[in-house]
Structure 1
């Protein structure tokens, strides 16, 4: 089934009238279909009336005499020699090519099938030239994979897609998966431990030592692995195990490092996760922390590759199927927006969004050209995708009028955090992929790597929003990654847009990464991150501004009712009317100034100016019998103490909310002791 290219090459060799012996060397990992292809070769040659000799070198004593005897054809003449397990002849290679092959009749065809190719010495020998033809066997196509799985399945048709995704075109894995009842869960079929174990036994075998097994497990967890990566976890043996890995038939050499065959990486991961879940989680966290640090510490493009690795590491769970996280062929690369690329952006925007959408793209190209990233085909350099990542630390009236998506983001931020300046928000506004592109599956993961890189490397980021039009897989991915859907769907031209957002003030990057760790193991049933009910978690500067506003509005109830502190954690945790809770907590904060005997004048200045009120500042200074400059100093320092006291309350309750130790509205007192008493 399949392998039409290899069959045509064999038929062509049979048809050739040559005076030399032709050698076809097939190589690939265990289970890739070498033996099955040799059987088809034998049938083809027999139908043509050729003399066929089949030898399983793994079953023959590894000596010159034993092999020559097994490969002897009676009667002489042209022979078609099919040798399986040709790796067993590695130590006999010089004899085999210099003496044995030259003893065969002219026009003979020899097919060698093994896990490794012939030596470089043989492949580079000019005497063999076109007579030695080396071909690596890859996986089957999706259509061929479907036929293999369907033929192997004895029951219904459930789980075909999951079985094909697991095997990734590997014939043995397809047959094992097709016959496997698997582990039926809410999210569909997954391979049983028996299938995973059999696959590892037949494809990987037993690693030489525990260190080699550890290296294999590390490589299985990342998209590609370098010796530098291994040295982080096993500094004394990194070179040794890396050299061993690079010689394995299920390992390929990528543009940047080594890569395991996808089905092998999947099987190694599942095996460790099943037999040693604690060790698996420990390995996962160590690798994830390492690549997360690389994102922050390395310049581009290394940091961008590290961000892609972070996504790959967190995508080990079933939830991420359908995304080509590894882009094993490096088919797409990112470039910044330049003058030459603007035309390509406009063409792709018009194709995907129409005239109205193009007008919005043009607007943002003028306003924030640095936020646009192009994704080009590695083969043609053609632009096949565009990412528009906008950045806001203030809200421009023109921008919110022109773009309803930005207006919706602004309204959400202000409803959650108030109208003060200083809120930093990133908006993934455009994610456009060329419809006719064959690299389309690789574009979105590249875009997600850029988004992850921006999240992990920013020193201060309050919000990240993503505007999505259609694309159910991306929606599910965002929900899994703890991005919450804003209410409603916007109408934008002919498109409906749904906005997803994550508030980094309530769930910071470190906590978010740990949440993904749990979900990677537990799936979508893992708990969501805790967020504060109605919460407006303010920056320290915005918090202090809100305290000042509350003091100045002490006798203006309408103005106090709009203060963002009413939705802060230290207020939300207490039962009762939020305004009365806030007033009570501010009074206690002012009274707490007296805990410092040297600060009684500060407490008196704050109390008389704001809580008592009704007098000018000059009058309050006279009432306190201090100079006006002294009064101003007392007032300034007293307000600072109130801000600090309340901020410590806020920090305490935010931490308790995140850890689950606090239930909002159940604390009737509403105060924790931050004075050290």
Structure 2
């Protein structure tokens, strides 16, 4: 440790980061086995996941573990090399200068243009005991795992949300009041950056025993990191729709956009990291839906409710032809009455024919018109 008796500030930052790390036990276990030379372990780890999911934190753990095992660690920031082969080559010169090595490239999304060159030209020339970690936001090219020559040497490592117990440990380590833990866990949905930002808000906002909702600063900071700023009002509209439904389709986007623009926005949404294409449409990560919903409610509550009604009408028009797909989306809109209301006060019971009359009576007497119509359609 440099800087005399007390070291330097960077040492304290690194130590705090290591002490605050939670989760990723399976990924670290497999990496430990690779460090130990186990025959059935990969030599190349392709780590990928959405922004803020903890890729860089995991790589710091990998680097500490590798140094502890006696390996030289070469770290490359993808932002520094871009798509330049020569810039990359200059940064990795020490790889062949003796001793087992770990080569790590973080921010690989910034140098994706080098992916084919790395696989076909550079990596095959590394020493046989070398370990390589490439980490970025995008899923790696399929050739890594379908080419039989690479199949046993490469492991794709997708990073998803932390488990609830891990998320709770992170919040406890950051001093979040116990009375607010459940609300923060619900909002962040296991996303490490969201947990950190929400923890700061939950710890500092008063009163600590009151209901907690994420403040505008935390939500905006999170969205800026995950998405950046939308390119146009149409893209902004697409994101607002994402905050209110589970699955986004071109048809839903056409509720407020013309057909051509809806298709362009749909394709753009589908290219965002963390978005999963499913049979019912595009599925956004829960943390992104929660943040978009909270931001929309804060910015303009009237516009938020107008869009919610607009989407309700659009879905209701299709409920008779595809109830299996539409009913879950209608339930999601009912839950979206409040910006963070994920579990409304609904009691689920098996439906039997003798309950039909009671359900219809209740719908007509107690529910607002659009909810009554929903009850009629689903009985």
TM-score under structure 1 normalisation? Answer: 0.48
Given that residues 60 and 67 in structure 1 are in contact (C-alpha distance below 8 angstroms), is that contact kept between their aligned partners in structure 2?
yes
Aligned-pair CA distance for 1:224:
0.8
* 1:111 corresponds to: 133
1:92 aligns with 2:55: no
Aligned-pair CA distance for 1:21:
7.9
Given that residues 42 and 152 in structure 2 are in contact (C-alpha distance below 8 angstroms), is that contact kept between their aligned partners in structure 1?
no
Cα distance per residue 1:57-113 (max 9 Å; x no partner): 123353111111112226234311111101112112121111111221112111111
Q: 1:324 to 1:69 in 2, by over 3 A?
A: farther
Matches within 5 A, 1:1-40: 1-16=22-37, 22-40=43-61
* 1:272 corresponds to: 296
Given that residues 335 and 341 in structure 2 are in contact (C-alpha distance below 8 angstroms), is that contact kept between their aligned partners in structure 1?
yes
1:201 aligns with 2:210: no
Aligned-pair CA distance for 1:507:
5.2
Cα distance per residue 1:113-157 (max 9 Å; x no partner): 111121224443232112121121011111111111111236x43
Give distance in 1, aligned partners of 2:189 and 2:153.
32
1:79 equivalent among 101, 113, 122: 101
* 2:146 corresponds to: 124
Aligned-pair CA distance for 1:227:
2.4
Q: 1:506 to 1:139 in 2, by over 3 A?
A: closer
Q: 1:255 to 1:38 in 2, by over 3 A?
A: same
Partner SS for 1:111: strand
* 2:243 corresponds to: 220
Matches within 5 A, 1:322-401: 322=343, 387-391=350-354
Matches within 5 A, 1:158-173: 158-173=179-194
* 1:477 corresponds to: none
* 2:370 corresponds to: 510
* 1:402 corresponds to: none
Partner SS for 1:391: helix
Given that residues 77 and 105 in structure 1 are in contact (C-alpha distance below 8 angstroms), is that contact kept between their aligned partners in structure 2?
no
Cα distance per residue 1:334-356 (max 9 Å; x no partner): xxxxxxxxxxxxxxxxxxxxxxx
Give distance in 2, aligned partners of 1:266 and 1:103.
46
State the number of aligned residues.
347
Q: 1:18 to 1:97 in 2, by over 3 A?
A: farther
Partner SS for 2:183: helix
Gaps of at least 5 residues in structure 2 are 1-21, 375-379
Given that residues 78 and 110 in structure 2 are in contact (C-alpha distance below 8 angstroms), is that contact kept between their aligned partners in structure 1?
yes
1:68 equivalent among 89, 96, 106: 89
Gaps of at least 5 residues in structure 1 are 326-384, 393-423, 428-460, 464-501, 515-677
Aligned-pair CA distance for 1:251:
0.9
Give distance in 1, aligned partners of 2:308 and 2:210.
22
Give distance in 2, aligned partners of 1:303 and 1:513.
13
* 1:474 corresponds to: none
1:309 aligns with 2:332: no
Given that residues 163 and 190 in structure 2 are in contact (C-alpha distance below 8 angstroms), is that contact kept between their aligned partners in structure 1?
yes
Aligned-pair CA distance for 1:186:
9.4
Aligned-pair CA distance for 1:278:
2.6
Give distance in 2, aligned partners of 1:101 and 1:126.
16
Give distance in 1, aligned partners of 2:172 and 2:149.
46
TM-score under structure 2 normalisation? Answer: 0.83
Matches within 5 A, 1:417-456: 425-426=357-358
Aligned-pair CA distance for 1:248:
1.2
* 1:672 corresponds to: none
* 2:377 corresponds to: none
Aligned-pair CA distance for 1:249:
1.0
* 1:518 corresponds to: none
Structure 1 vs Structure 2 CA RMSD: 2.8
* 1:244 corresponds to: 268
Report the structure number with the largest CA radius of gyration: 1
Partner SS for 1:105: coil
Give distance in 2, aligned partners of 1:508 and 1:97.
60
Q: 1:506 to 1:319 in 2, by over 3 A?
A: same
1:210 aligns with 2:210: no
Q: 1:426 to 1:65 in 2, by over 3 A?
A: same
Partner SS for 2:75: strand
Q: Which has the higher contact order (CA 8 A, sep 6+)?
A: 2
Q: 1:292 to 1:250 in 2, by over 3 A?
A: same
Given that residues 24 and 135 in structure 1 are in contact (C-alpha distance below 8 angstroms), is that contact kept between their aligned partners in structure 2?
yes
Given that residues 85 and 113 in structure 1 are in contact (C-alpha distance below 8 angstroms), is that contact kept between their aligned partners in structure 2?
yes
Q: 1:187 to 1:236 in 2, by over 3 A?
A: farther
Give distance in 1, aligned partners of 2:345 and 2:194.
19
1:233 aligns with 2:93: no
